[in-house]
């Protein structure tokens, strides 16, 4: 006689030993365990167990065996037939949702978008409740491209950041994070700060904006801006360097990545003499940026060596991946400007960080929250794990 599959659902107030008592109670009637799932929210436990029952075992046998638990504790048990899912088997997808605030209407819209693509939500996990709300949906039965398009459309109506990725080793294998510097790892643009010393803020800022928006070739724009700095004493580089400010969450991001065995690199269209000392302080050894020509202690208005432009950033990404011993598909790239687009596209995961629309459209996902450590949530690293790592290592 074929064994019957039974679904047992335990719900109620959690306590130490409850799960072991549950499994001890059902053990005499179980031929094998098929699947187990558990979640606990604010001390309330839900456990679902699919089993193959031994020949002749009835639902009543399970109910009787578990009666001591349900009578003595604030818990209940439901016994039902375990039916095969009607959903097509496919790779699971991970939908990460981030926002400063989430309400029922927003979550309903997320769930409806997933359902519209034929997706079924298997699990929802909270990754963080500050500085942003972050939840991860594990979705079965949906096409990757279709789901990504549907979730991206939500961001036009709701203040959300959403990423859709394949589950499994594909995400866990990403071990190198390559970041832009200006307006990504650092607040503001170094070239604008240098221009302030020459009284040319507006002229340089206009060229910078055109280049970052993709309206002007980056190399040409860089040469135009650097030319305006001709005659400035090299000491202004020191002054700007002393006033550099990291993006909120940058230190947390780098500290956590290092503790988890990730490597970090920086590729910048900015200037090496300004950022190099800070990168050394942060423990970042893989750095690519432009160099400024200095003669007799004065900026000549020229760039020395090859310009780190759009193509140069992709080349640096590949070089860093080679140094780190990982495939390019195992990298994460983060940037905000048009000169980052090719780098974002080449990486295994490209993240547009507070970026222009042209960059957001080209990237795998986009973050609009002002905290760089939100990148960790896209890697499936929770706030609880970040704080635990800090506590363990001091």
DSSP string, 69-128: HHHHSSEEEEEEE-PPP-SPP---EEEEEEES---HHHHHHHHHHHHHTT-EEEEEEEEE
Can you give the pLDDT at residue 167?
85
Q: Average pLDDT of each block of 10 consecutive residues along the chain (394 residues)? A: 77 88 93 90 89 92 90 82 64 93 94 95 91 94 92 93 85 86 95 88 86 82 92 94 96 93 94 96 97 96 94 97 93 94 96 93 92 94 87 66
Can you give the pLDDT at residue 3?
54
* Residue positions annotated with a catalytic role: 180, 182
Can you give the pLDDT at residue 311?
95
Can you give the pLDDT at residue 394?
57
What's the pTM? 0.83
CATH architecture of 5-81: 2-Layer Sandwich (3.30)
CATH 3.40.50.1000 matches 177-363: yes
As a whole number of angstroms, the distance between CA 168 and CA 366 comes to 21
Domain boundaries in the chain? 5-81, 93-167, 177-363
User: Which pairing describes strands 161-166 and 93-99: parallel, antiparallel, or unpaired?
Assistant: antiparallel
- Fold equal for 5-81 and 93-167: yes
Can you give the pLDDT at residue 1?
34
Q: Are 64 and 29 in contact (CB under 8 A)?
A: no
Query: Any residues with CB less than 8 A from the CB of 342 and at least 6 apart, and which?
Result: 310, 311, 313, 314
* CATH number for domain 93-167, candidates 3.30.70.260, 2.40.50.140, 3.40.50.300, 3.10.580.10: 3.30.70.260
Can you give the pLDDT at residue 86?
53
DSSP 338: G
- Residue entry with tokens 């409850």: 18
Can you give the pLDDT at residue 85?
59
Q: Are 100 and 369 in contact (CB under 8 A)?
A: yes
């Amino acid at each position: 006689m074929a064994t019957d599959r039974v679904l047992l659902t335990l719900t109620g107030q959690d306590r130490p030993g409850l799960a072991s008592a549950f499994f001890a109670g059902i053990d005499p009637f179980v031929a094998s365990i098929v699947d187990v799932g558990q979640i606990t929210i604010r001390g309330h436990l839900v456990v679902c167990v699919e089993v193959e029952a031994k020949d002749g075992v009835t639902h009543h046998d399970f109910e009787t065996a578990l009666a001591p638990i349900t009578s003595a504790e604030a818990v209940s048990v439901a016994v039902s037939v375990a039916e095969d899912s009607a959903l097509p088997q496919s790779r699971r997808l991970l939908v990460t949702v981030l926002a400063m605030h989430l309400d029922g209407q927003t979550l309903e819209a997320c769930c409806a978008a997933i359902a519209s693509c034929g997706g079924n939500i298997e699990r929802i996990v909270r990754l963080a409740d500050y500085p942003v709300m972050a939840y991860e949906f594990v979705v079965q039965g949906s096409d990757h491209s279709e789901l990504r398009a549907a979730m991206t459309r939500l961001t036009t109506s709701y203040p959300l950041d959403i990423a859709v990725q394949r589950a499994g080793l594909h995400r866990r294998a990403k071990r190198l994070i390559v970041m832009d510097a200006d307006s990504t790892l650092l607040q503001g643009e170094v070239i604008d700060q240098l221009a302030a010393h020459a009284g040319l803020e507006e002229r340089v800022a206009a060229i910078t904006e055109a280049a970052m928006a993709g309206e002007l070739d980056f190399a040409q724009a860089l040469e135009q801006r650097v030319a305006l700095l001709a005659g400035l004493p090299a000491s202004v580089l020191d002054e700007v360097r002393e006033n550099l400010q990291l993006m909120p969450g940058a230190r947390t991001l780098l500290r956590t990545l290092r503790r988890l065995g990730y490597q970090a690199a920086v590729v910048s269209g900015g200037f090496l003499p300004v950022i190099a000392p800070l990168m050394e302080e942060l423990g970042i050894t893989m750095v690519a940026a432009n160099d400024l020509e200095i003669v007799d202690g004065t900026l000549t208005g020229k760039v020395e060596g090859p310009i780190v432009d759009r193509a140069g950033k992709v080349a640096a990404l590949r070089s860093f991946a080679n140094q780190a011993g990982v495939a390019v598909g195992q990298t994460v790239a983060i940037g905000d400007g048009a000169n980052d687009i090719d780098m974002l596209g080449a990486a295994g995961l490209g993240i547009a960080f507070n970026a222009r629309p042209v960059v957001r459209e080209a990237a795998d996902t986009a973050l609009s929250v002002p905290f760089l450590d939100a990148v960790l949530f896209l890697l499936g690293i929770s706030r609880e794990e970040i704080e635990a790592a800090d506590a363990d290592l001091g």
